[in-house]
Chain A
Amino acid sequence: MIVTILDVVIAGLLLGGIYALTAVGLSLQYGVARVLNIAHGEFIMIGAFITWWLFAAFGINPLVSLAICGPIVFIIGFTLYRTLFTRLRTSSASPAAFEGNSMLACFGLLFIIQNVAILIWGADMKGYSYLAFPVNFGGAVFAANRLITLGFAMVIGSVFYLFLARTRLGKAIRAAAQDPTAAGLMGVNMKQVLALCFGFGALMAGFGGTLISMSYKIQPTMGLEYTVIALIVIVLGGLGSIPGSFIGGLLLGLVGSIVTYIQPGLSLVAYYAIFMLLLLAKPTGILGK
């Protein structure tokens, strides 16, 4: 019994680590840059596919790929914000109009990125085996790559949190999240900071994609599912809150693992049910005011 509980809890945390990391990215993009990035999952997919491709073609270690995928996806995100979203922001009549327009533009991006990926890599499922040996964990057995995934997710998340909390740029980002106008008046280069935030959000997605590709099968159409889960997590943790996203991610991972144990196939239904109940009861999230 205890082994079963341990099994379910650890499986939940392993799943939750990935959810948390991808949700932090989305939270940054929506919380600061005000873009509800429906194409977030596509950035995860890009990260996953570049990692797979580097591994399959050149035998590059997926952990090394973290340092390659991250910057690539960051540049894509940063450039997109400087061109497409900056243009939309200046042409939209109000912040609310910008939110609607940018979300719809993201739907367009979703189709574009997904189909370019299908043209390059084909629509089939891909996967590779890396550190797939079993690790015994107090009676519960897990693949080593999943433990590494969780470890890296935690480290990346913590480093990013420290970056936001301790550095000058981090302070500028937090100021921009609280009050864009005041931050601009205090000398924060808003254009730069917003684009950086969108880029960092994409960076997190890229890292998430690399980690996901280590233990799950990947596919060009995998993005939307991760986007939806990330959306649920950031609502769970409170829109724009980084610690909230982390707690929410781990919590949702646990719920998923418990539901999968009781009734496999219903985990997505459970996610949506929680999501909708939460939106009705406390739309500001568990850490929200």
Chain B
Amino acid sequence: MDFVSVVSKRSFPLGSLLLILILLATSPLYAPVYTVVLLTSIFMYIIITVSWTMFSGPTGYISLAPAAFFGVGVYASALLGFVLPLPAIIIIGGLASSCLALLVGALTLRLRGIYFVMFTFGLVELLLHFVLWWEVNITGTTGRVVPTVGNTTVYYLMLIIFAILVLTAYLIRRSRFGLALQSIGEYEEAAAHTGINVTALKIITFAISAFFMGAAGAIMATRWTYIDPRIAFNPLLSFMPVLMAIFGGMGQLYGPIIGAAIFTYLEEFLITRFPYYYMLIFGIIMVVAILYMPDGLVGLMQKLWKRISEAKHADT
């Protein structure tokens, strides 16, 4: 997988972006409930994928911790759901995830490559089994009820978090901060020698990305109404963003967004049409994507576009 991204000179046309945003923001007014619920799921995956890419894309550290950060948010919602208003819970859920990320980051970000992957994966399983043990042996109840909120409210909250995330990711990408992250991914020693505080930078970015995952978890919990450790800390949620980001392509900001959107829709489609074959098809797509689309969908499109424009030049 090539983590080196190409900074595009062309920015997305502002007008069409605004139009899409307005369409999305007003969709609960005219779209059926099913669409709104599906869009909420899509935004949840987009948030997790974009925040995953924010850290792992430029630095090349493959984190399998998203499920842990997401789960912390889910549990914040479950524990405080009947005590505090939802916006406060979302912020607390996000901050709790950030704190966990700070701690994990401070401990582990000196681990390289495969060790970091294994540690973050272990973190999810550790939390899952610890909370499971805690609920069985200490509190005596497995699972919790989360107060529900209307579909439209959940949708708007997701949309707001999504908008803040995209803005943050965009600003990071074009700042010196983002450039420094990129240099860590390319050559960490060299980055350290040019005066970049490598460790601090990695930990801060890791914490920022965890904030959004935790916030998404806190919101999503209200839609599930009932949660238990296996739902909250589902390891699949750690693999999904990796897959979606690779599928979409990490070179551009919109790559992971497109990847997550297509994949979530595909998941929904496969579950309803082929419930027994869904995971199988999923695995096949994953292998094929890694084999034939190393730069993702966006990379593939760019390659095709280049070939078409070259052919045009050859004609004239």
Contact = CB atoms under 8 A, between A and B. Distances in A.
Nearest to A99: B114
A112 interface: yes
A91 interface: yes
Given A97-B1, A104-B1, A112-B280, A283 B290 contact: no
Most buried by A among B107, B276, B283, B294: B283
4 smallest A-B Cβ distances: which pairs?
Answer: A111-B283, A108-B286, A108-B287, A112-B283
B134 to A, nearest CB: 10
Interface of A: 30, 36, 84, 87-88, 91, 93, 96-97, 99-101, 103-105, 107-112, 114-116, 118-119, 224, 228, 231-232, 235, 263, 265-266, 268-269, 272-273, 275-276, 279-280, 283
Contacts of A30: 114
A276 B111 contact: no
A279 B126 contact: no
A105 B290 contact: yes
Contacts of A115: 277, 279-280, 283
Nearest to A273: B126
A19 to B, nearest CB: 16
Contacts of B121: 228
A99 B107 CA distance: 23
Interface string B264-294: 0000000000001101101111110011001
B113 A268 contact: no
A96 B112 CA distance: 11
B261 interface: no
Mostly helix, strand, loop or mixed at chain B's interface? helix
B67 interface: no
Nearest to B282: A111
A272 B242 CA distance: 22
A105 B282 CA distance: 12
Interface in B106-141: 107-108, 111, 113-115, 117-119, 121-123, 125-126, 129-130, 132-133, 136-137
Contacts of A96: 113
A99 B258 CA distance: 26
Given A101-B1, A275-B122, A111 B111 contact: no
Given A112-B283, A119-B276, A273-B126, A265 B111 contact: no
Given A96-B113, A272-B125, A279-B108, A104 B242 contact: yes
A109 B285 CA distance: 10
B1 A279 contact: no
Contacts of B2: 93, 97
Contact of B290 (A88, A112, A269): A88
A87 B129 contact: no
Nearest to A228: B125
5 contacts: A119-B276, A228-B121, A269-B126, A272-B129, A279-B115
Interface in B30-75: 62
Contacts of B242: 104
A96 B61 CA distance: 11
A279 B113 contact: no
Nearest to A103: B117
B141 to A, nearest CB: 15
B137 A265 contact: yes
A76 to B, nearest CB: 15
Most buried by B among A84, A107, A108, A276: A108
Given A99-B113, A105-B287, A266-B133, A276 B122 contact: yes
Given A232-B122, A276-B123, 11 more contacts: A84-B287, A91-B291, A99-B113, A100-B62, A104-B1, A104-B242, A109-B283, A112-B280, A228-B121, A231-B118, A265-B133
A179 to B, nearest CB: 19
B243 interface: yes
Contact of B246 (A104, A116, A263): A104
B226 interface: no
Contacts of B133: 265-266, 269
A278 to B, nearest CB: 10
A231 B2 CA distance: 25
Contact of A112 (B235, B284, B294): B284
A97 B107 CA distance: 24
Most buried by A among B132, B243, B291: B291
A235 B113 CA distance: 14
A283 B115 contact: yes
Nearest to A36: B114
B125 to A, nearest CB: 6
Contacts of B129: 266, 268-269, 272
B239 A107 contact: yes
B62 A108 contact: no
Contacts of A93: 2
B111 A101 contact: no
A24 B239 CA distance: 26
B115 A265 contact: no
